[in-house]
Structure 1
Amino acid sequence: QTVLEGTHLCLAWLQQQKKIFSLFTTEQALEHEDLKKITELHQGHIFVISEVLYRDLSTLGTSLPCLAIIDLPKTASTIDYNVDTLILENIQDPGNVGTLLRSAAAANIKQIICTQGSASLWSPRVLRAGMGAHFSLHCFENFQLTDILPKFQIPVFVTSSHRSTSLYSKDLSKPCVWILGNEGQGASDYALDHAQSVTIPQPGGQESLNVAIAGSICFFEMVRQRQ
């Protein structure tokens, strides 16, 4: 199980016809229009607690009191090695992971694989950063890159500022795999040796881009080429 906090995430979850295990709020919050929508869709037990207790439970501070406990969704039983895929290799910052899931979902990349050492996809902080993107994705966690990469039958790209060719010279018109590496160390040697390295031109001369920004640029260059 995990926790959804805030009306946006709870509404997004319920609108996918998914169930909430337990819902917590305060008496005052029940009068808010967003809470009314949630309670209509939830149609289950609601635990009304004091403002003081909710503040102790909350990690958001100023948001409208709305906290849901959910069962982790069941994803596809096996990885599809022929569809657009995002592999997060040891990306540890929850904000980066959530942002990448949000960008991937917007770019219609539906399959996400996290290697061991990455931030948990279903942690509350990643869920908040993802803004509901999780709920339309097939997510897999705790894989070793060496176990899955050889099985892909489509082009595999890895972002790198070294030994790379420009992103804009690559043909991204067909399904492909994107590997994004650790915030500080970048992609592993294994990834660099077994994928096509791409770099994003930076005429301003900065050493590197934030991994979530770099990934988003790659995804939407792919989208542009497929228009």
Structure 2
Amino acid sequence: MKVVTSRDNALVKRLHAMAASTSQQRRADHVLAEGIHLATAFLDAGGVPHQCVISESALDDVEAQAVLRRIDDHRVTMLPDALFRQVSTVVQGVGLLLLLDRATPVLPDAIERDCVVLDGLQDAGNVGSILRSAAAAGVRDVFCVSGTAYAWSSKVLRSGMGAHWHLDIHEHVEPADVLSRLRVPLALTDSHGAQPIDRIDLGGPVAWVFGNEGAGVSAAWRDAPHLRVTIPQPGGMESLNVAAAAAICLFEQGRQRRAHQG
């Protein structure tokens, strides 16, 4: 284990810049994943971190010790608590973070299985929650249209709770990139003139598009042939949070498939 005590250290400077803003994280070559849960989820998925950084006090934490036992010692750096706080994005918690290689999957030639398209979602919590629902529902591919919150930011990672390690996340895609490759029906949620989700056959693969929290789905998707799906709301609310709507759609699809199988 390496010990670093200077704020002028190259690794410390790098982490400090990444912790300062999402824009810095987007420009970086690596991903900053902080906390025991994310570290454990990453290791459970078979990942090998580029670097593990731990605070001095966290060395006495049982869960942190369990994480360290799974990482080669030459990849571990210890910082004094005061210095670790300067590179941390978490106010409270065990002082442990991983610096990871960022996955950059290649767009498939043809999209023939379930997928999720995030069309300009701005809220990091919503993006992370949808990634978590997609992974839980068994969806593998997520396409983030330009303008969507950075999927590998610290906030999205924390909200995703480890979902990232089970997904192929394609960022900075344009609608045409997906539409030209799509070989499955496109589905959009719509509160007006659409069929209730439980009356639409979702037994086959579907490309779900979830749009911006305020503006909704952009014209490129609405102009393409698509299924119009509504989620019944007997309580009379005008709309659902986009992350809640996504979870309902994905798990209704799973429910129908299980019903067909049994």
Question: What is the TM-score of this pair, normalised by structure 1?
Answer: 0.95
The CA distance in 2 between the partners of 1:146 and 1:192, in whole Å, is 13
Equivalent residue number for residue 7 of structure 1: 36
Equivalent residue number for residue 169 of structure 1: 199
Task: Work out whether residues 160 and 186 of structure 1, in 8 Å CA contact, stay in contact via their aligned partners in 2.
Answer: no
Residue deviations 1:161-191 (CA, integer Å, cap 9, x gap): 2332211111001111100000001111221
Q: CA deviation at 1:80?
A: 4.3
**Alignment pair present for 1:200 and 2:231:** yes
The CA distance in 2 between the partners of 1:142 and 1:46, in whole Å, is 32
**Alignment pair present for 1:133 and 2:163:** yes
**Alignment pair present for 1:179 and 2:212:** no
Q: CA deviation at 1:76?
A: 4.6
The CA distance in 2 between the partners of 1:47 and 1:120, in whole Å, is 27
Equivalent residue number for residue 176 of structure 2: 146
Q: CA deviation at 1:144?
A: 1.0
Q: CA deviation at 1:56?
A: 2.0
Unaligned ranges ≥5, structure 1: none
Equivalent residue number for residue 142 of structure 2: 112
Equivalent residue number for residue 189 of structure 1: 219
Ranges of 4+ aligned residues in structure 1 off by more than 6 Å? none
Residue deviations 1:47-104 (CA, integer Å, cap 9, x gap): 2111112222222111110011111124355254101000000011110000000000
SS class of match (1:109)? coil
Q: 1:153 to 1:165 in 2, by over 3 A?
A: same
The CA distance in 1 between the partners of 2:251 and 2:129, in whole Å, is 14
SS class of match (1:184)? coil
Task: Work out whether residues 188 and 227 of structure 2, in 8 Å CA contact, stay in contact via their aligned partners in 1.
Answer: yes
The CA distance in 2 between the partners of 1:77 and 1:208, in whole Å, is 32
Equivalent residue number for residue 63 of structure 2: 34
Equivalent residue number for residue 156 of structure 1: 186
Equivalent residue number for residue 209 of structure 1: 240
Corresponding pairs, count? 227
The CA distance in 1 between the partners of 2:183 and 2:100, in whole Å, is 35
28-37 or 4-13, larger mean C-alpha shift: 28-37
RMSD in angstroms over aligned alpha carbons? 1.4
Q: What is the aligned counterpart of 2:114 among 84, 87, 94?
A: 84
Task: Work out whether residues 35 and 66 of structure 1, in 8 Å CA contact, stay in contact via their aligned partners in 2.
Answer: yes
Whichever residue aligns with residue 243 of structure 2, its letter is A
SS class of match (2:69)? helix
The CA distance in 1 between the partners of 2:243 and 2:109, in whole Å, is 23
Equivalent residue number for residue 99 of structure 1: 129
Task: Work out whether residues 141 and 169 of structure 2, in 8 Å CA contact, stay in contact via their aligned partners in 1.
Answer: yes
Task: Work out whether residues 128 and 159 of structure 2, in 8 Å CA contact, stay in contact via their aligned partners in 1.
Answer: yes
The CA distance in 2 between the partners of 1:76 and 1:33, in whole Å, is 39
The CA distance in 2 between the partners of 1:81 and 1:25, in whole Å, is 41
Residue deviations 1:16-69 (CA, integer Å, cap 9, x gap): 221111211122211212111111111133221111122222221111100111
Percent identity at matched positions?
37
**Alignment pair present for 1:50 and 2:86:** no
Question: What is the TM-score of this pair, normalised by structure 2?
Answer: 0.83
123-132 or 151-160, larger mean C-alpha shift: 151-160
Task: Work out whether residues 110 and 181 of structure 2, in 8 Å CA contact, stay in contact via their aligned partners in 1.
Answer: no
